[in-house]
Amino acid sequence: MIARQARLLRTLSHPGRLAIVAALGRGEACVCHLAAALGRSQPYVSQQLAILRAAGLLTARRQGTFTYYALRDFSVLGVVDLAGRLAGGPSFTRARRAPVRGCDCPACRVATGEERHAQ
């Protein structure tokens, strides 16, 4: 049991993965949304998502050409919150997912007014 806990904490100890978990605490998101929100490349985000999925922390669902990721269990946010407080930061708040400019997912395009028109 201790070894599994240590593996989980090692998975969460990476800054990029921790940021992804915190972002998914606001709701499911696609790779392009997470990349735009975190200011990272899509390959980088995809690699971190694969590690989080392998650890059993995420679920994924396909909708058209997009894959949306979500936390399997929101109790992981308690770990994120505790780590933030222990590091002297603010408590994690679960705000709603906001649209991000530069994200190509349908929800962000409509919400930011970047919806593409068929020609």
CA-based nearest residue to 23, from 11, 38, 40: 38
Q: How far apart are CA 70 and CA 73, in angstroms?
A: 9
Q: What is the pLDDT of residues 87-117, one digit of tens each?
A: 888 766 666 667 777 787 877 776 666 554 4
Half-sphere exposure of 113 (CA within 13 A, CB side): 0
CA-based nearest residue to 38, from 14, 67, 60: 14
Position 32 pLDDT exceeds 70: yes
Q: What is the pLDDT of residues 38-91, one digit of tens each?
A: 999 999 999 999 999 999 999 999 999 999 999 999 999 999 888 888 988 876
The CA distances from residue 109 to 31, 47, 117, 118, in Å, are 14, 24, 11, 14
